[in-house]
């Protein structure tokens, strides 16, 4: 029989284990006892970076809070549009953040939970306010930024004990991740092309101008370190399989290329538009295209079909994107590039995050990588 001292020791260990397992985690410290350079992340965008905000939207059809989504995620279905971790989770691990970034819409995301950042992203949303109308209720990028400005930022400053003068210094310890743009093409421009009387080039120019203004808004609020995730090759997604004849839908890929060129221009212009800021472009378009063109080189076997069962656009109530609730799923998720009709598997997310963090190729990250950004 264990002694009272032994029982007490076990109890203390269990309490410590419980404490460290909570999402509401303690602040990370460097080896020298000082705060880590990067304290957390504020995340904006759409489903590729959404950590569960749409779970709390009653009238949204863009949800991933059911199996088989999250089948490989430690907490099961969480609202992440993949089988396991998304790029945000993986970058957080590489930055040695002590916990997952909580979604803004979760009522428990308050107080000390905000110290390491908040995820504002919303699946099916876009840069434009009307993007996502096909999915019902979504949180537009403009609203995400308002949520940061009016709700989260004042509370984070309170938790950190900083005043207005110290705000910029405090915000320098956070990365601002922006992952948006693809839905503005798929579920806006191309979905209602008859309503638009502008060319793809003009639409893209307006889109990147809007995004530039939104980034400047965050800059005025104190943001200094930005990571812009490019749009990946939309035309190669399984959602468009019915439209694909030989290879990918080139007009969709051309749209992504035009937008990504605009992102690079934003970064180059930031030297004068947003002095003292540093921006990184993660070219997931090139990273994913390299995988699709030569999947076996990265250990993939299927770059064309979704891992989960998806109801195609040609069938009643099918959107070509979402996994069917309780539907069939591939056994080897690591062999697939796409998990559903649009979103990549955790393995692809790992490829993107690793390249973002370590690559020295400007065709993959520009002008520096995320790890180098963290040291600035």
Say how far apart CA 154 and CA 176 lie, in whole Å.
Answer: 16
Angle value at C-alpha 181, between 47 and 178, nearest 5 degrees: 70
| φ and ψ of 168, to 5 deg | -65, -40
279 DSSP assignment: E
- Taking the C-alpha atoms of 318, 322, 327 and 331 in order, what is their torsion angle to the nearest 10 degrees? 140
Nearest to 215 by CA among 181, 169, 190, 189: 181
Is 122 assigned a catalytic role? no
Q: At what angle do helices 200-220 and 250-273 cross, to 10 degrees?
A: 40
Tokens encoding 226: 């930005």
**Contact (Cβ atoms closer than 8 angstroms) between residue 48 and residue 343:** yes
Q: What is the largest CA-CA distance in the chain?
A: 81
Beta-strand pair 174-179/225-229: parallel
Nearest to 292 by CA among 280, 303, 284: 303
- Write down the catalytic residue from 125, 334, 336, 343: 343
Is 336 assigned a catalytic role? no
Stated length of the chain: 376
Tokens encoding 240: 């468009």
- Write down the catalytic residue from 50, 106, 184, 340: 340
Is 47 assigned a catalytic role? yes
| Cis upstream peptide for 160 (omega within 30°) | no
- Write down the catalytic residue from 47, 78, 125, 237: 47
> What is the set of active-site residues?
47, 340, 343
């Amino acid at each position: 029989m264990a002694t009272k001292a032994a029982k007490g020791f076990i109890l203390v260990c269990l309490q410590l284990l419980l404490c460290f397992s909570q999402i509401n985690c303690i602040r990370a410290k460097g080896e020298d006892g000082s705060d880590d350079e990067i304290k957390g992340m504020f995340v904006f965008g759409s489903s590729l970076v959404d950590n569960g905000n749409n779970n709390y939207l009653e009238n949204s059809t863009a949800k991933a809070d059911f199996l088989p989504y999250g089948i490989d995620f430690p907490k099961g279905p969480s609202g992440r549009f993949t089988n396991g971790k998304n790029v945000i989770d993986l970058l957080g691990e590489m930055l040695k953040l002590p916990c997952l970034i909580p979604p803004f819409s979760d009522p428990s995301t308050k107080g000390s939970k905000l110290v390491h950042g908040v995820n504002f992203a919303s699946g099916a949303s876009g840069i434009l306010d009307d993007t996502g109308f096909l999915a019902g209720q979504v949180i537009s990028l403009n609203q995400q930024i308002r949520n940061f400005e009016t709700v989260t930022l004042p509370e984070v400053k309170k938790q950190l004990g900083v005043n207005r003068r110290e705000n910029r210094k405090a915000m320098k310890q956070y990365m601002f991740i922006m992952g948006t743009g693809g839905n503005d093409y798929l579920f806006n421009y191309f979905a209602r092309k008859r309503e638009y009387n502008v060319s793809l080039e003009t639409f893209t120019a307006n889109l990147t101008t809007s995004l530039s203004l939104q980034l400047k808004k965050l800059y005025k609020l104190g943001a200094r370190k930005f990571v812009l995730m490019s749009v990946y090759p939309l035309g190669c997604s399984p959602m468009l399989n019915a439209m694909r004849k030989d290879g990918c839908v080139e007009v969709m890929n051309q749209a992504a290329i035009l937008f990504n060129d605009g992102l690079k221009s934003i970064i180059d212009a930031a030297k004068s538009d947003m002095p003292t800021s540093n921006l990184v472009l993660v070219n997931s378009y090139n990273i994913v295209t390299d995988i699709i063109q030569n999947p076996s080189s990265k250990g993939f076997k299927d770059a064309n079909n979704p891992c989960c069962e998806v109801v195609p656009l040609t069938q009643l109530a099918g959107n070509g994107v979402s996994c069917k609730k309780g539907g069939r799923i591939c056994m080897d998720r690591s062999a697939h590039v796409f998990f559903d009709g649009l979103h990549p598997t955790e393995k692809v997310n790992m490829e993107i995050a690793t390249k973002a963090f370590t690559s020295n190729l400007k065709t993959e990250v520009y002008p520096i990588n995320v790890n180098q950004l963290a040291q600035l």
